[in-house]
Amino acid sequence: MDFSSIISLEELATNSLRRHANYCFLAPRSLAKRVDPTTLIPAEVERMQLFKFEADRERFLVAHGLKRIILSNILECSPQEIPLVFGPGNKPYLRDGQCHFNLSHSGNWIVMMISCETEVGIDVEQPNASGEVPFSMVSHPNDDLHSTLKTAEQQFYASWTLKEAMSKWDGRGLDRPFNEIRLEATSGNTYRGYHEGTIWHARHATLGDGAHIAYASANPLQVFHLAVS
């Protein structure tokens, strides 16, 4: 994943994204000062205000502000008019299914994937030793990871983000046993995932600060990666 193409928040709000392209957006939490809270709907503002720590409020504001700015750009409607509904596991969808998207946020990062072709799942994790679950709950005995993942921590977070992205694809999320998903390394930083007859195509990357990102879909996708500044 190469996030060297940059788009500003202001450009995102005004420029048209290509409706039939697949995008993966990466945004830092530091954008919070430039996201207008009135972009959110009242229920989201209420959720944001429930967070005790400012960092959590900022991450929420950027995540849901970005979601509304990007979807309003694609759907050509105001950010507050996006027809969101909740499916299995409370995964948010667009009511008429004209586009698929998924959101994730952790530490200093927010990621969002959008595709008008097919359903998608995405995950970002900022490593945090205190919150780790045992690797045995994540690792399948026949997992095959790229050899560029050298340390146990890299292998853990790459496996975790890939499997969470795969599992968020259909809304099952953490309810799917990650150690039953088998990973197969394919070319570059891509993977296939296998579980109960489902095959995912996925991509993983590590950011400069050690955060891990992965996204997945049931079809191989050509994706534009954009860093939001």
Q: Which residues bind ligand COA (CB under 6 A)?
A: 60, 63, 89-92, 102-106, 123, 168, 171, 173-175
The rounded Cα 58 to chain-centroid distance in angstroms is 17
User: Whose Cβ is closer to ligand COA: residue 168's or residue 212's?
Assistant: 168
Give the separation between CA 145 and CA 139, rounded to whole angstroms.
10
As measured in angstroms, the least distance from the Cβ of 212 to ligand COA is: 11
Query: What's the sign of the alpha-carbon dihedral 179, 180, 182, 183?
Result: negative
CA angle 6, 10, 13 (to 5 degrees): 105
User: Whose Cβ is closer to ligand COA: residue 11's or residue 170's?
Assistant: 170
Q: Beta-strand (E) ranges in 83-140?
A: 84-86, 92-94, 100-106, 109-115, 120-125
User: Whose Cβ is closer to ligand COA: residue 72's or residue 102's?
Assistant: 102
Taking CB atoms, the residue at the shortest distance from ligand COA is 173
As measured in angstroms, the least distance from the Cβ of 179 to ligand COA is: 15
As measured in angstroms, the least distance from the Cβ of 144 to ligand COA is: 24
As measured in angstroms, the least distance from the Cβ of 141 to ligand COA is: 23
User: Whose Cβ is closer to ligand COA: residue 121's or residue 149's?
Assistant: 121
Give the separation between CA 192 and CA 207, rounded to whole angstroms.
21
